[in-house]
Amino acid sequence: MSTHINAANKNDIAPSILLPGDPLRAKFIAENFLESPRCYNEIRGMLGYTGTYKGVPVSVQGTGMGMPSMGIYSWELITEYGVENLIRIGTAGSFHKDIKIKDIVVGMAASTDSNYIHAFDVPGSYSPCASYELLSKLDSSSKELGIPFKAGNIVSCDVFYELKEDWWQKWASMGIMAVEMEAAALYMNAAYNNVNALAIMTISDHFVTGEKATSEERQTSFTDMMKLALETAVK
């Protein structure tokens, strides 16, 4: 039905979907968290699966890295397959000492240095923000599971290798919690199409301390994030 996703029909993809950047992580989620998963997409190696979680249909789709790639997949999922709830799951880099390695952060809003908004011809600045409906469900799931998170403003950046070492400090001075590369585009696509979106990340790198998560820490925090995301998706 779409250029980058070869699912045969709308019913192949659930109304609620998790969006990791890494397609192999999508495969891992499907095989370890979903019941009876089936692969619906293999185009460009960007794997997508649908299964059930606690009896409720849920899909998981790799999106690749960066806003252009997230923009493509989220747009096609919304407009071609009728997806209504899109939850990004991934990693982020912390800008503050009190937001530590392994912490889970949620982007209530997503500032950006991208010009992605030009596609919507908005006559001014725009503030991409999360769905309150999904954020409320996440908060409820967090309390039920005893898995805490921190919510606030994040920044979605186009450049991974910045040349200025202190580039992040001005963002931090404005209260930005962390940096990632996809949420702003997801939030804009969702807003334009009147659907729900939320970005959940685990902290894997720290700009203040220079710390980086170990493979064991990444796996532990990833599992907690997955539990929160799945519970939110099926509420």
Q: Is 103 a residue of the active site?
A: no
Residue 56 has pLDDT above 70, yes or no: yes
Q: Please state whether beta strands 150-156 and 178-180 pair in parallel, antiparallel, or not at all (unpaired).
A: parallel
Q: Would 4 be classed as within a structural domain?
A: no
Mean pLDDT, to the nearest integer, of 55-71? Answer: 97
- Residue 227 CB neighbours (<10 A): 15
Half-sphere exposure for 21 (CA within 13 Å, toward CB): 17
Work out the average pLDDT over 13-36.
95
Task: Give the span between the Cα atoms of 129 and 7, in whole angstroms.
Answer: 29
Going by pLDDT thresholds of 50, 70 and 90, the confidence category of residue 1 is low
Q: Determine the Cα–Cα distance for residues 99 and 203; give it in Å rounded to an integer.
A: 8
Task: Tell me the pLDDT band of 3, cut-offs 50, 70 and 90.
Answer: confident
User: Residue 28 domain-assigned?
Assistant: yes
Q: What is the mean pLDDT of residues 193-199?
A: 98
Range of 135's domain?
10-234
Residues in Cβ contact with 66 at an 8 Å cutoff, skipping those fewer than 6 apart: 158, 181, 182
8, pLDDT greater than 90? no
- In the numeric block, the tokens 């923000």 are attached to 129
Is residue 29 one of the residues assigned to a domain? yes
How does 94-117 read in b/e, with b if 16+ C-beta sit within 10 Å? bbbeebebbbbbbbbbbbbebebb
**CATH number for the domain including 188?**
3.40.50.1580
Report if residue 3 sits inside a domain.
no
Does 190 map to a domain? yes
Residue 168 domain-assigned (yes or no): yes
5, part of any domain: no
- Checking if the pLDDT of 10 tops 90, the result is no
d(CA 145, CA 54): 15
The mean pLDDT of 12-40, rounded to a whole number, is 95
State yes or no: pLDDT of 52 exceeds 90.
yes
Query: What are the residues facing 203 on neighbouring strands?
Result: 92
pLDDT digits (tens, 9 = 90+) for 204-216: 999 999 999 887 7
Question: What is the per-residue DSSP string for 204-215?
Answer: EEETTT--B--H
Question: What is the spatial distance between Cα 179 and Cα 201, in angstroms, rounded to a whole number?
Answer: 10
Q: Total domain count for the chain?
A: 1
In angstroms, the CA 48 to CA 153 distance is: 29
Identified catalytic residue from 22, 103, 205, 224: 205
pLDDT single digits (tens) 113-159: 999 999 999 999 999 999 999 999 999 999 999 999 999 999 999 99
Is 92 part of any domain? yes
What secondary structure letter does DSSP report for 45?
G
